Structure 1
Amino acid sequence: MKTWLLSLCGWLWCALALAAPDAQQILAQSDAVRNPDRPFSLTVSLTEYKDGAAGESNTLVVYSKAEAQSGQFRSLIRFLLPRRDAGKLMLKNGNELWFYDPSSKASIAISPQQRLMGQASNGDVVTVNLARDYRATQVSEEVIKDGDRQMRHCYKLRLVAQNDSVTYHAIDLWVDVDNLRSRKALFYAESGSLLKQAYYRGYAQVLGGTRPTETVIIDGLNPRWVTVMRYSNHAWRDIPEAWLQRDYLPRFRGE
């Protein structure tokens, strides 16, 4: 009898282990929902709001292409608006991030944590596969209210950075159980303090999948400070390797 009970407990434990979703796999699948698997471009429009009033705005074009060996994206960002910033460039190649100003003809190393505009950091506008830079564990399953005030049954993942070059030390990410769409995220500094929260919404059919077309970023200290990132003009692109090299930045002329 004792042997039978032990065997039954062992079988139940194995069944539960097999049924439990793997956190890293969930994260990788959520990456695939957010990011296309071919080189692409899109326009990012950022608008900052304070107490509901629109303030500073910015418009960028992002060209992204996954690196064959690592699977992580490399991105070239071209500034369009405001006019004073037109022609400036930002390049993410591997773990390096560079900013190029045509007026000085110099490219300088910058941090992904550095503020770009409002609550958006440099690292928020480049394309990233989180599963390449973070180790995920599943904390729980929760029903949350998403950015459209709809109730969603989600996996709650805890992401911890695997290297110091990423934008955030840790992230809490809620991924929809039904379709693996990212719904909400909290971003933390190394000290453990909350930097910001984000909601992914406006899912639409673009670039071969249903992907978010808007990210709402809310300041971690003052919830009345909000930055909205809207994505448009999605297109498959043939992105030359030269565009993704630092030495080529002074010669980039765009389209």
Structure 2
Amino acid sequence: MLDLAPAFAARLLVAFAALSASASSIALAQAPASSTIDAQNLLTRSDAVRNPPGSFSARVTLTEYRDGAQSDSAALMIYSRPSENSGQYYNLVRYEAPARDNGKLLLHKGVDLWFFDPASAASVRISPQARLLGEASNGDVMTTNLGKDYRATLLRTENTEDAAHHVHECAVLHLTAEREDVPYNGADYWIDRTTAVPVKINFLTSEGRVLKTAYFRRFDNVLGVQRPTETVILDGLNPHWITVMRTGAFTPREISVAWFQRDYLPRFEEE
């Protein structure tokens, strides 16, 4: 599990609180929106940076901080397989920690999200918007192609600092949900216009208020491509509430379609 020392956690809190508190610390220079940028295509390219191709498994650790102190944590195993029809991912999530949750499952297939508890052997429909831990929702830990769920329009271009204070020439895209079952109604998304690297995203309420902000960082070579392996999520009202989501142990693998059937959940055992 992710274990950040208290001093490092405090520095992390200060750094990201400062980033969220001042727009001028992020947008260093602004330029008119360029008509040469295909917003939907850029969103699709960014999806390919975030997500490995084909079926894979990965381990996700979540650590919640409140005012600089760690308050909760969890570890999950994610199994993802792209749908042959839609291109969107099917996801099966297995809880590993804390011990009280070990063996519980989340199944996301199409518009359905199910929670299965082996103690009761019952599966119930839940919302992708519901909190899983801290600022991370059920939908945040799922593998998603945003280009399949949202319509992108270009707001502007601007030079923007990422979480490591590197400056990117970003296209700022506004995302509008195409369906009601997606985790967020809309978002503003900063993407490097040349490399399609995701920099940050503001998730929005239906009224346009910032619900939370996620910064992408710790880019590592994952299955041949530099991909973000850590996401730092800040609460939209209190930037001192932070959840760090780290993803690792990416493994290409054939995953049976049977794993993504609700009736299979009581029989699920990792191969």
TM-score, normalized by length of structure 2?
A: 0.86
Provide the rounded CA distance (Å) in 2 between the counterparts of 1:113 and 1:191: 16
Provide the rounded CA distance (Å) in 2 between the counterparts of 1:205 and 1:234: 10
* Partner of residue 267 from structure 2, selected from 245, 251, 255: 251
Matched, 1:199 2:215: yes
Structure with max Cα Rg: 1
Residues 212-223 of structure 1: pairs in structure 2 closer than 5 A: 212-223=228-239
Residues 67-78 of structure 1: pairs in structure 2 closer than 5 A: 67-78=83-94
AA partner of residue 43 (structure 1): R
CA contact 2:42–2:193 (8 Å) conserved in 1: no
AA partner of residue 112 (structure 2): E
Specify the alignment match of 2:180 in structure 1. 164
The C-alpha deviation readout for 1:150-189, integer Å capped at 9, x for no partner, is 2211110000001100000001000012311100000011
* Partner of residue 125 from structure 2, selected from 99, 109, 118: 109
Query: What's the offset of the Cα at 1:251?
Result: 0.2
* Partner of residue 142 from structure 2, selected from 113, 126, 133: 126
Provide the rounded CA distance (Å) in 2 between the counterparts of 1:236 and 1:44: 15
Specify the alignment match of 1:51 in structure 2. 67
Q: SS of 1:213's equivalent?
A: strand
Specify the alignment match of 1:143 in structure 2. 159
* Partner of residue 228 from structure 1, selected from 244, 250, 256: 244
Query: What's the offset of the Cα at 1:19?
Result: 6.6
Provide the rounded CA distance (Å) in 2 between the counterparts of 1:179 and 1:47: 29
* Partner of residue 196 from structure 2, selected from 180, 200, 216: 180
Provide the rounded CA distance (Å) in 1 between the counterparts of 2:161 and 2:35: 26
Specify the alignment match of 2:13 in structure 1. none
Q: SS of 1:243's equivalent?
A: helix
Query: What's the offset of the Cα at 1:36?
Result: 1.4
Q: SS of 2:248's equivalent?
A: strand
Q: Hey, which bits of structure 1, 4+ residues long, moved more than 2 A?
A: none
Provide the rounded CA distance (Å) in 2 between the counterparts of 1:29 and 1:185: 15
Identity level (%): 50
Runs of at least 5 residues in structure 1 that lack an aligned partner in the other structure: 1-17
Query: What's the offset of the Cα at 1:27?
Result: 0.4
Q: SS of 2:175's equivalent?
A: strand
The verdict on how the C-alpha distance between 1:201 and 1:245 changes in structure 2, with shifts beyond 3 A counting, is same
Matched, 1:25 2:41: yes
Specify the alignment match of 1:15 in structure 2. none
Provide the rounded CA distance (Å) in 1 between the counterparts of 2:35 and 2:179: 31
Query: What's the offset of the Cα at 1:51?
Result: 1.3
Matched, 1:82 2:84: no
Specify the alignment match of 1:10 in structure 2. none
Provide the rounded CA distance (Å) in 2 between the counterparts of 1:150 and 1:132: 29
Provide the rounded CA distance (Å) in 2 between the counterparts of 1:76 and 1:207: 21
Query: What's the offset of the Cα at 1:207?
Result: 2.0
The verdict on how the C-alpha distance between 1:19 and 1:140 changes in structure 2, with shifts beyond 3 A counting, is closer
AA partner of residue 117 (structure 2): D
Runs of at least 5 residues in structure 2 that lack an aligned partner in the other structure: 1-33
Provide the rounded CA distance (Å) in 2 between the counterparts of 1:38 and 1:183: 24
Query: What's the offset of the Cα at 1:253?
Result: 1.2
Provide the rounded CA distance (Å) in 1 between the counterparts of 2:165 and 2:65: 19
Specify the alignment match of 2:3 in structure 1. none
Query: What's the offset of the Cα at 1:118?
Result: 0.1
Specify the alignment match of 1:153 in structure 2. 169
Q: SS of 1:154's equivalent?
A: strand
Q: SS of 2:182's equivalent?
A: coil
